[in-house]
Amino acid sequence: MRALGAALLLALILGGVIAVRAARASTGDFHPARPASIEWPSGVQDVPGRIEVSFPSPLGDTIRGWYVPSTNGAAIALVPGTTSDRRHFVPEIAALGNGLFGVLAFDLPGAGLSDGRVTWGASERAALSAAVAWLRAADHVQHVGVVGFSQGSYTAVQVAAGEPAIEALVLEGAVGSYEHVTRQEFGQWGWLTAYPAILARRSAGYDVSEPRAIDVMRRYAGPVLFVNGSADRDVPRSEADALYAEARGRKETLTIEGAGHGAYARVPGDYLARLVAFFERTLTHHA
């Protein structure tokens, strides 16, 4: 009996340790490392006209980023993912900016150099709404598109569902349900790791009562391009597939062979050309 009791006690202790570790690891999304400064990479040719910009969100956060002015009447807002910042999009900025599009790449609240905090909800939506309004007020901009990566895709869908100014949407490594992704990411030990991770993320700032991207995808009627890496181990392809099924506008998919979660431009292929071509079809035919 003593041996059985000791084994049970040991199992409880180990289970508790595993659950606590999962909970602690899951909150990293809400506390990204903050750089002291953000510079354009020294080994990459800069885009002509690129400037530093900042603007307030409706929640009072100051949002900071880079802007490349538009010369073709269209501009793209680039929304990065969890624990990332505008530098994630350097290849996209160069490709779109050199293709005459305006480009606004900004840091989400609580990340990069922007004020505020990470919520996977209200703060990010407010920042993107402010970015779209800022672009609409910029010189020579009549049409706006959005690229959202991972967490940025989640925000992009939520905002596009109620923002008619967003005329074209690219969702990269798309997330339809944050809790679904959490269960996948922390499901190594089933409920023992997944449930503490979900509770921890709720405690850190995620509001489960808010509509998820998958809940509002049907409200967006514009064209959308889904981009995924064939070797993505962070966000299951089922997330993008579920959003694709709900999208009611013109929709396309692009799978980057050999790519993981993001960094699609690092894999040989035509990703950047396809990205530029998508916005040329969906935005500049108006301009």
Residue 148: pLDDT band (50, 70, 90) is very high
Question: What's the pLDDT tens digit per position in 6-22?
Answer: 555 444 455 454 656 86
Would you say domain 51-177+205-282 falls under CATH 3.90.1170.50? no
Question: What's the pLDDT tens digit per position in 217-241?
Answer: 999 999 999 999 999 999 999 999 9
Task: Kindly tell me if the per-residue pLDDT of 117 is higher than 90.
Answer: yes
Beta strands 224-229 and 51-56: pairing type? unpaired
Q: What is the CA radius of gyration of the chain?
A: 20
Average pLDDT, the chain: 91
Q: In the numeric block, which tokens belong to residue 257?
A: 């062979």
Per-residue model confidence (pLDDT) at position 23: 74
Question: What's the pLDDT tens digit per position in 65-95?
Answer: 999 999 999 999 999 999 899 999 999 999 9
Instruction: Report CA torsion sign: 116, 226, 240, 184.
Output: negative
Q: How far apart are CA 22 and CA 151, in angstroms?
A: 20
Q: How many CB atoms lie within 10 A of CB 43?
A: 5
Where in the chain are the domains?
A: 51-177+205-282
Q: In the numeric block, which tokens belong to residue 182?
A: 């959490």
